[in-house]
Amino acid sequence: MPELPEVETVCRGLTPLLVGQQIHKVTLQRENLRYPFPFLMPERLQDVTILGVRRRAKYILIDLSSCDTWLIHLGMSGKFHQLAAEAQFGKHDHLVLKTITGLTLAYNDPRRFGYMALLRTDQIDQSSYCKNLGLEPLDANLTAAHLHGLFSFIKRPIKIALLEQQRLVGLGNIYVCESLWAAGINPFRESRSLNYDEWSKLLPEIQSVLQRAIAAGGSTLKDYKKINGDLGYFQHHFSVYDCEGGACQKANCNGTIKRVVQSGRSTFYCPTCQQ
Ligand SMILES: [Zn+2]
């Protein structure tokens, strides 16, 4: 499933292609993805100019000159790819956008778990999609003190609480495992037991693991492709995720990576150095 780094990668790929462009036409090849497309979507997108592309959690937000914002969730397998002007639409190209300069972009989604909405830009933060979302992990203003405070009443294990999206967004299973390992924190610890110093270690590790994934074009889905069609390759560089039975890669640790199922998801960790 595309996670925060993949969505950020897609946003960064879409930005130079789309910002400042005027939409000529949007064509839908079917009526729905996971949900029906927004009412009168092609009409509402016609002739409008794209003002910006940004990300909130795992949503792509495309701000439009019509004062609407086009919200896109990639689901399990959604991706954008560029088509030659006269190319035939592919089998899973469910939406095709043409700009007045001739750029043709298709939204492709074989499993159709993705969805889209058109919302007023000034109401995005209050919308049902965004109102319960927590802080952005890469926000420059986010501090260890914020997180220490937010999680200080939570009894649930830190691994589980970090996967929930209402305090901190965008951390999927892989990135939670990787950052807890890097910070040396046991995934079964009660969230409220983490002290300020531990949050001061964990926050930079969360940010670093996400930044490295973004830099690598991040990927968690084997057939996931960047906007330009290149496969992401971050999946080959995990330190702990999917490394069951392997030696812990920390310099002063001779532990062995263990896999345990925690609330239905695999947790990979090193029992020796994650206390
Ligand atoms: Zn270790």
Strand partners, 119: 69
CATH code given to domain 144-269: 1.10.8.50
CA of 22 to the centre of ligand 1 (A): 53
CA of 246 to the centre of ligand 1 (A): 10
**Annotation says 244 is catalytic:** no
How far, CA to CA in Å, does 11 sit from each of 37, 59, 146, 201, 271?
Answer: 20, 9, 27, 28, 37
Pick the CATH number of 4-123 from 3.60.10.10, 3.20.190.10, 3.40.50.720, 3.30.420.10: 3.20.190.10
Residue 104: both structure tokens together: 């043709």
- Check residue 185 and give its pLDDT: 98
Residue 221: both structure tokens together: 């889905």
**Annotation says 265 is catalytic:** yes
CA of 181 to the centre of ligand 1 (A): 8
CA of 196 to the centre of ligand 1 (A): 22
Write down the catalytic residue from 98, 192, 250, 265: 265
pLDDT in tens, 199-233: 999 999 999 999 988 887 644 333 444 444 444 43
Please state, in angstroms and rounded to a whole number, the distance separating the CA atoms of residues 21 and 62: 12
CA of 206 to the centre of ligand 1 (A): 18
CA of 251 to the centre of ligand 1 (A): 8
- Check residue 235 and give its pLDDT: 52
**Annotation says 2 is catalytic:** yes
| Sequence spans of domains, the chain | 4-123, 144-269
pLDDT in tens, 2-47: 888 889 989 988 999 999 999 999 999 999 999 999 999 999 999 9
Who surrounds ion ligand 1 at CB < 5 A?
248, 250, 253, 255, 270, 272-273
**Annotation says 79 is catalytic:** no
CA of 149 to the centre of ligand 1 (A): 28
Going from the first residue of the chain to its last (275 residues), give the mean pLDDT of each consecutive group of 10, the final group possibly shorter. Answer: 86 93 96 96 97 96 98 92 84 95 93 96 97 96 97 97 93 92 98 98 96 70 43 62 94 96 95 96
How far, CA to CA in Å, does 147 sit from each of 56, 99, 152?
Answer: 18, 43, 8
CA of 254 to the centre of ligand 1 (A): 6
Write down the catalytic residue from 5, 8, 55, 58: 58
| 252 C-beta neighbours (distance < 10 Å), count | 7
Tell me the residue ranges of DSSP E strands in 75-167: 79-83, 93-99, 104-108, 115-120
Verdict on whether the full-model pTM lies above 0.85? yes
